[in-house]
Amino acid sequence: MALRLMTVVGARPQFIKAAAVSRAIAARDDIAEIMVHTGQHFDDNMSKVFFDELDIPAPAFSLDIHGGSHGDMTGRMLGALEAVMREERPDWVLVYGDTNTTLAGALDAAKLNIPVAHVEAGLRSFNRRMPEEINRVVADHLSTLLFCPTVQSIKNLEREGITSGVHHVGDVMYDATMFAAARARERSTVLDNLRLEPGGYALATIHRAENTDDPDQLRAVMGWLSDKAKERTVVFPVHPRTRDALARAGIVPQGVAMIDPVGYLDMARLLDGAAAVYTDSGGLQKEAYFHRKPCVTLRSETEWTELVECGWNRLWKGPDYGPRRDVTEYGDGDAAGRILDDIARHDVGTARPHL
């Protein structure tokens, strides 16, 4: 019988990664997928459009859980996901990244003695003030299989005593980017719609709590973007939470082209045509590299240190770019297949979380 793999997703970066793995599952007959969408990102521009554009199967369960504090949201997810897991009894639960959805999926599965597989395991910013850092650390320590995108992520796990079940598979975002870039060039009209010329603009995104929850920090970031807009157009798809924070603080960025969130194919096309990327998103830092675009991270640290070491990324208040070279450890765009091979080979009977 095919292994029953429950995929738990809820946020934009997870939809993108899950799309690559779901396509790989569809090509096999030894794994069956049960997709669960918690609803953490619920706006059509932040959720449904990704399922439509990236050929992700419609979720078997849509939990519609969003809003509220971290504790409130995670608590509601824990209750709803536990019920789904008890009903479906999957062989594995697959979680992605570092969101509240990741934390809730890993916690529920571990407490129900269902082995957890974590994609993007071992990433560390070493900033425990970030909710994402707490989420990723806990998920790693609850996981049986840990799929690492980089050599550094394996070293991070070793320092925390996690050495079994660790696999360097490359970066599943590379798989997704290769697929999306070709499709975006065929289908997206966003550059024409916004009257943008390739190479004539920069692309910006801001959504992290460390930037949006502190009005002074948000004002500083928007001031930095406004300064960059004096050099070239800055296109800024605005996350709903960021738009609300700007309104509450009375901040109006000068010279920045603020637009509604865009679908993944339009974002891929915007990346493809951008001269530079300014972001606080971990995922977009990598996507910028896959499109070979220089990136400035609007944070005090980054979990993707190899992008800084290889000259493709720098911190907004840090040194300038270093010498530029390719990042070979991200793999060849076959991470999804390697993840599924490792899950299929693993003896479920020996699966234990790293408690």
Within this chain, domains 3-171+332-350 and 175-329 share the same CATH topology? yes
Residue 355: per-residue pLDDT: 47
The answer to whether 135 touches 98, Cβ cutoff 8 Å, is yes
Residue 205: per-residue pLDDT: 97
- Tell me the pTM: 0.80
Residue 43: per-residue pLDDT: 60
Residue 351: per-residue pLDDT: 54
3-state SS of 93-132 is EEEECCCHHHHHHHHHHHHCCCCEEEECCCCCCCCCCCHH
Residue 67 CB contacts under 8 Å (≥ 6 apart), including other chains: 73
Ordered by start, the domain boundaries in the chain are: 3-171+332-350, 175-329
The answer to whether 300 touches 315, Cβ cutoff 8 Å, is yes
Rounded Cα gap, residues 348 and 309, in angstroms: 38
Sheet architecture: strand order including 256-259? 256-259, 233-237, 201-205, 276-279, 295-297, 313-315
Tell me which residue of 331, 330, 313 sits closest to 322, measured CA to CA: 313
Residue 138: per-residue pLDDT: 98
* Helices marked H in the chain: 12-26, 48-53, 70-88, 100-111, 131-142, 151-159, 172-187, 190-194, 209-212, 215-229, 240-249, 264-273, 282-290, 305-309, 335-345
The answer to whether 31 touches 25, Cβ cutoff 8 Å, is yes
Rounded Cα gap, residues 111 and 76, in angstroms: 16
Residue 284 CB contacts under 8 Å (≥ 6 apart), including other chains: 205, 271, 277, 295
CATH number of 3-171+332-350: 3.40.50.2000
Rounded Cα gap, residues 291 and 172, in angstroms: 15
**81, 87, 88, 93 alpha-carbon torsion, rounded to 10°:** 30
Rounded Cα gap, residues 140 and 163, in angstroms: 11
The answer to whether 314 touches 279, Cβ cutoff 8 Å, is no
The predicted-structure confidence for 266-298, as pLDDT tens digits, reads as follows 999 999 999 999 999 988 999 999 999 999 999
Rounded Cα gap, residues 195 and 200, in angstroms: 10
Residue 340's SS3 state is helix
Residue 54: per-residue pLDDT: 77
Q: How does DSSP classify residue 327?
A: -
User: Which positions are annotated as active-site residues?
Assistant: 207
Give the sign of the dihedral formed by CA 44, CA 100, CA 327, CA 343. Answer: negative
User: What's the average pLDDT block by block, 10 residues per block, for the chain (355 residues)?
Assistant: 95 88 95 94 60 80 91 96 98 96 98 97 92 96 97 96 97 91 93 97 95 96 97 95 95 95 91 97 92 96 93 96 94 94 84 52
Q: Rg of the chain's alpha carbons, rounded to an integer?
A: 19
Instruction: Quickly tell me which residue has 């996901």 as its tokens.
Output: 81
For domain 175-329, give the CATH superfamily. Answer: Glycogen Phosphorylase B; (3.40.50.2000)
Residue 285's SS3 state is helix
Residue 229: per-residue pLDDT: 97
Rounded Cα gap, residues 111 and 306, in angstroms: 35
